[in-house]
Amino acid sequence: MTIKQNKWWQSAVLYQIYPRSFQDTTGTGVGDLRGIINRLDYLNTLGINAIWLSPVYKSPNDDNGYDISDYEDIMDEFGTMADMDELIAEAKKRDIRIIMDLVVNHTSDEHAWFIEAKKGKDNPYRDFYIWRDPVNGEAPNDLESTFSGSAWEFDEASGQYYLHLFSKKQPDLNWENETVRQKVNEMMNFWLEKGVGGFRMDVIDLVGKIPDQKITGNGPKLHDYLKEMNQATFGNYDVMTVGETWGATPEIAKLYSNPEREELSMVFQFEHVGLDEQAGKQKWDLKKLEMEELKQVLSKWQTSLGNEGWNSLFWNNHDLPRIVSRWGNDKEYRVESAKAFAILLHMMKGTPYIYQGEEIGMTNYPISTIDEVEDIESVNMYHDRLSQGYSKEEIIKSINTKGRDNARTPMQWDTSLNAGFTTGKPWLHVNPNYTEINVEIALEDKNSIFYTYQKLIQLRKDNPLVIWGEYELQETVANIFSYIREYEGKKWLVVANLSDEKQKYSSDATIKDILIENMPTPNDLKETELLPWQAFVVEI
């Protein structure tokens, strides 16, 4: 079987919306569904085919919607189910599909199932979650929560602990319980019937966990569960699925996305995301990115899936710092470096994802005290590390480099109050650079980052080479990333200087056509020099 299934999602470009920070229409300081509907024409101008919507379900917002209290209702701040139906319909008119965020490793502790489960050991919902007796008066084992501290929370009333791999307000569902899986499937069908375009599956690699053996990711039943889910739900629709799988290797990615196995369309792999952290430590333990490693890792993913899996391509999401601040230069080369990273990623094989604001080169927002931070992961880590003896300065530096709020500051629409995001008090600080970096200015400037993204999307639509072509990394100096895509006798050369310095470059290739560039491309590529962050794609 070939991977060339010609599925719509293989040639699509997705745009991720973090609704809380996208567009407020009611003055609450929190974005809403109406705001997204109002901005659909903007997204249509960009040219995207689908929107991955971070969670919009009912939630007490301990983790900004990733703690769901009702999967079949909409968060009060965001609007109503009627708004949601309208969003799906309005998007459809523009050929844009809505991809729902499926967060089913855990629910909120305010979900009706957990409220029932807490009532006692005999409650029919008790087994929907993972309860264990204390061991020697303590937690069953030393499993840790991603958000710091033990993954076990003691429940006084019953004398048992429940498992939460994230916050204690996010109890883990017990996937071994068949009824739990059935309920999840029913809920997925509810959304599929509404006409959504698929699901992004939050930490899906964790649902096969065996907590007693301290197995969390990639448990033995994981793939059986996904096959079962595929058959019972999305397998019956023309939709896409993308699993969030932090520990995936290419071999693991094939298990999920080989079409013959009938599991998922693709997964998000995070190998490149970990390249600026110290091996075996946490994301907060910083290390400088080696470009050579980035090249090797991304190229490995480009070539190793072959016909047995499908890539997703991304630099950013709501959990990651902004790419232009992280690995680019958000000062003197903000525009050039943002374009260079865009060109590099969008010419690769796989389905690209753009995170809101990336298309205008939004940057990180540095904080100076912990009071400015909203994100539960950063706040918990701060207190945890303070108690372990880390200095405040060191922790703040980690948060400024890697904290999730960097990606979550409100979308910068124009130069009006609060960047046009809200007329009220924004839930999270607006980056003061909105007076220069915003959508209005970007749309007026033909040379803006926005139009580079727009053109990259168009190139993908017009050229099967970008979707199906073979990939080959080219030999260059460390700071230049270059590859060739080849398809049906056509060859495209992609070159990007990922540094603040000029770099020596040489290629024997003759340029037939310039497809895209972020500054004038040399006529002759032999023995030449690339300017800082220079990037181009040429037919050779």
**Is 202 labeled as catalytic in the residue annotation?**
yes
Residue among 24, 153, 205, 377 that touches ligand TEU (CB under 6 A): 377
Count of residues of this chain found to bind ligand TEU when the rule CB under 6 A is applied? 14
Residue among 33, 53, 56, 103 that touches ligand TEU (CB under 6 A): 103
Taking the C-alpha atoms of residue 158 and residue 119, their distance in angstroms, rounded to an integer, is 8
Which of 63, 109, 172, 202 is an active site residue? 202
Angle at 209 between CA 153 and CA 113, to 5 degrees: 55
Question: Shortest approach of ligand TEU to residue 105 CB, angstroms?
Answer: 7
Question: Shortest approach of ligand TEU to residue 211 CB, angstroms?
Answer: 16
Which of 311, 406 has the CB closer to ligand TEU?
406
- C-beta of residue 114 within 8 angstroms of C-beta of residue 107: yes
Which of 172, 244, 276, 319 is an active site residue? 244
Question: Shortest approach of ligand TEU to residue 376 CB, angstroms?
Answer: 8
Looking only at residues 386 through 405 of this chain, which bind ligand TEU when binding is defined by CB under 6 A? 404
Question: Shortest approach of ligand TEU to residue 204 CB, angstroms?
Answer: 10
**Is 244 labeled as catalytic in the residue annotation?**
yes
C-alpha 91: how far from its chain's center? 21
CA atoms within 13 Å, Cβ hemisphere of 168: 10
Q: Does 66 bind ligand TEU (CB under 6 A)?
A: yes
Q: Does 256 bind ligand TEU (CB under 6 A)?
A: no
Burial of 142 (0-12, 13-18, 19+ CB in 10 A): exposed
Angle at 414 between CA 413 and CA 417, to 5 degrees: 105
Which of 103, 480 has the CB closer to ligand TEU?
103
Looking only at residues 131 through 150 of this chain, which bind ligand TEU when binding is defined by CB under 6 A? 146
Q: Does 267 bind ligand TEU (CB under 6 A)?
A: no
Residue among 71, 166, 413, 492 that touches ligand TEU (CB under 6 A): 166
Q: Does 109 bind ligand TEU (CB under 6 A)?
A: no
Which of 94, 287 has the CB closer to ligand TEU?
287
Binding mask 178-217 toward ligand TEU (x if CB under 6 A, else -) reads: ------------------------xx--------------
Question: Shortest approach of ligand TEU to residue 391 CB, angstroms?
Answer: 22
- C-beta of residue 311 within 8 angstroms of C-beta of residue 349: yes
Question: Shortest approach of ligand TEU to residue 404 CB, angstroms?
Answer: 6
Side chain identity, residue 223: H
DSSP category for residue 441: H
Which of 320, 495 has the CB closer to ligand TEU?
320
Question: Shortest approach of ligand TEU to residue 307 CB, angstroms?
Answer: 29
C-beta atoms surrounding 136 within 10 Å: 6
Which of 164, 349 has the CB closer to ligand TEU?
164
Which of 147, 492 has the CB closer to ligand TEU?
147
Residue among 205, 308, 319, 330 that touches ligand TEU (CB under 6 A): 319
Question: Shortest approach of ligand TEU to residue 249 CB, angstroms?
Answer: 17
Looking only at residues 467 through 506 of this chain, which bind ligand TEU when binding is defined by CB under 6 A? none
Residue 439 vs residues 223, 303, 362: alpha-carbon distances, Å? 42, 36, 10
- C-beta of residue 410 within 8 angstroms of C-beta of residue 421: yes
* Residue closest to 51 by CA, chosen among 69, 39, 66: 39
DSSP string, 140-170: SS--B-TTSSBSEEEETTTTEEEE-SS-TTS
DSSP category for residue 389: T
Taking the C-alpha atoms of residue 452 and residue 335, their distance in angstroms, rounded to an integer, is 10
CA atoms within 13 Å, Cβ hemisphere of 80: 2
Question: Shortest approach of ligand TEU to residue 263 CB, angstroms?
Answer: 19
What lies within 8 Å, CB to CB, of 70 at 6+ separation is 57, 58, 111, 112
β-strand partners of 313:
352
* Residue closest to 219 by CA, chosen among 258, 245, 201, 188: 245
**Sheet arrangement for strand 160-163:** 131-132, 160-163, 152-155
SS3 content of the chain, % helix, strand, coil (to 5): 35, 20, 45
Which of 268, 533 has the CB closer to ligand TEU?
268
Which of 270, 390 has the CB closer to ligand TEU?
270
Looking only at residues 402 through 461 of this chain, which bind ligand TEU when binding is defined by CB under 6 A? 404
Which of 164, 181 has the CB closer to ligand TEU?
164
* Residue closest to 56 by CA, chosen among 20, 105, 29: 20
Q: Show which residues are catalytic.
A: 202, 244
Instruction: By CB under 6 A, name the binding residues for ligand TEU.
Output: 63, 66, 103, 146, 166, 202-203, 244, 246, 283, 318-319, 377, 404
